[in-house]
Amino acid sequence: MLDPQLERIARTLGPSRFPKKLALELCADCNLACSMCHHPEMRRPKGVMPYLLWKKCADEVARVDPDTEIWFSFCGEPLMAPDALITFLRYGTSVGLRSMNVNTNGQLLVPEVAAPLLTSGVGTIVIGIDGFSAPVYASVRVNGDRDVVYRNVEHLLELRQAMQDGPEIQVQFIEMDENEHEMRAFAEHWLERGATVKVRNKLSWGGRLDTPAHQETEERIPCPWALTMMHVFWDGRVPRCSGDVEGEDFEANAWHAPLTEIWGKLGSYRQLHLDRRFDELPERCQDCRDWMSGAAERVREGQLDRLERRRRKRLLPVVVSSEGRSLVAAHPPTPGVPLGPEVPPPAQ
């Protein structure tokens, strides 16, 4: 039996001239090696997105659809380049982008970064934590320090509460066997401090990782990731979808072509999904289970009991969004981290 939530999601999917969400890999390096993330095995080169590439993308989004959700996330930790992140957000605000959001593991969210981030124009800050106790946190967010991230996020929330207006702060809990028994304690801790709790399912990252999500193949729905989201690597390359983390399945580069043109070239792939011709999809799609993951649960004050009742009725343990990051030893950001090389686009 198909999960009712997947049925509802499937009814929202259709053709589009531009992605609803754009994930930009500001920095491809990460300071953690999380258990639920493919990043420790990533083979492609790593670097920081040049400011000129971001400007090119931001200008196009502002012209075509300024309501597009921009996510500074994908295969890296954006706060490893904090100066670039703040500069990118401020430029996006200046050209009229209405939804810019950040995913971080929070290890580098020190006070000197938190304050300018809150006033940068960012709409949502999602901090991936996934554990309440130190042992559970360490088993999931490998190389991270539980006390450091808790201290950083609690300070961020204090700063946010002192502001009249500002971004929503979400703390993320990816439910797994290792941590599911801590979900309520985790949620209660952060709800008391004014955060929104985001609960989601573990991703397979294009079939690379095992996940608890399960649906029968004959119940498959078009992939929400493929139909709604575009990703841009730090060097401008555009993968076919979020499961193509090495950029092996599609050749396009945001330096060389408009995002609208690249999205259009992926139209035949999206149509295979919409027509449910799943056996004609690329090989990677055959093993990918991310279409099963659903949508994230966002819990606010007074909603925790209702969430638990809903989740007990679900066929899937929980639902998802699009991330999965890692954490490493705490250290303050290096002053003057470059914004990315100020070089012309690579030759075609």
Mean pLDDT of the chain: 85
pLDDT above 90 coverage of the chain, percent? 64
Q: Band of the pLDDT at 325, cuts 50, 70, 90? A: very low
Residue 132 has pLDDT above 70, yes or no: yes
Q: What is the DSSP code string of 211-255?
A: -S----GGG----HHHHHEEEE-TTSB--SSTT-TT--S---BTT
- Please state the rounded mean pLDDT for residues 294-301: 77
Lowest-pLDDT range, 59-73, 198-212, 240-254?
198-212
- Please state the rounded mean pLDDT for residues 205-222: 62
Residue 188 has pLDDT above 90, yes or no: yes
The pLDDT score that the predictor gives to residue 333 is 34
Q: How far apart are CA 241 and CA 60, in angstroms?
A: 20
The pLDDT score that the predictor gives to residue 303 is 81
Q: Band of the pLDDT at 267, cuts 50, 70, 90? A: very high
Q: How far apart are CA 202 and CA 154, in angstroms?
A: 25
Q: Band of the pLDDT at 301, cuts 50, 70, 90? A: confident
DSSP secondary-structure letter at 171? E
Q: Band of the pLDDT at 211, cuts 50, 70, 90? A: low
What are the counts of helices (DSSP H) followed by strands (DSSP E) for the chain?
12, 8
What is the pairing mode between strands 196-201 and 297-299?
antiparallel
DSSP strands (E only) in the chain: 21-24, 69-72, 100-104, 124-128, 168-175, 196-201, 229-232, 297-299
Instruction: Output the pTM of the full model.
Output: 0.86
Question: Please, what are the domains in the chain?
Answer: 4-313 (3.20.20.70)
The pLDDT score that the predictor gives to residue 318 is 36
The pLDDT score that the predictor gives to residue 165 is 95
The pLDDT score that the predictor gives to residue 295 is 67
Three-state DSSP state, 27: strand
- Please state the rounded mean pLDDT for residues 200-206: 58
Three-state DSSP state, 16: coil
Three-state DSSP state, 48: strand
Asked if 114 contacts 156 with a C-beta cutoff of 8 angstroms, the reply is: yes
Q: Band of the pLDDT at 209, cuts 50, 70, 90? A: very low
Q: What are the pLDDT digits (tens) for 26-57?
A: 999 999 999 888 888 899 999 999 999 999 99
The pLDDT score that the predictor gives to residue 47 is 97
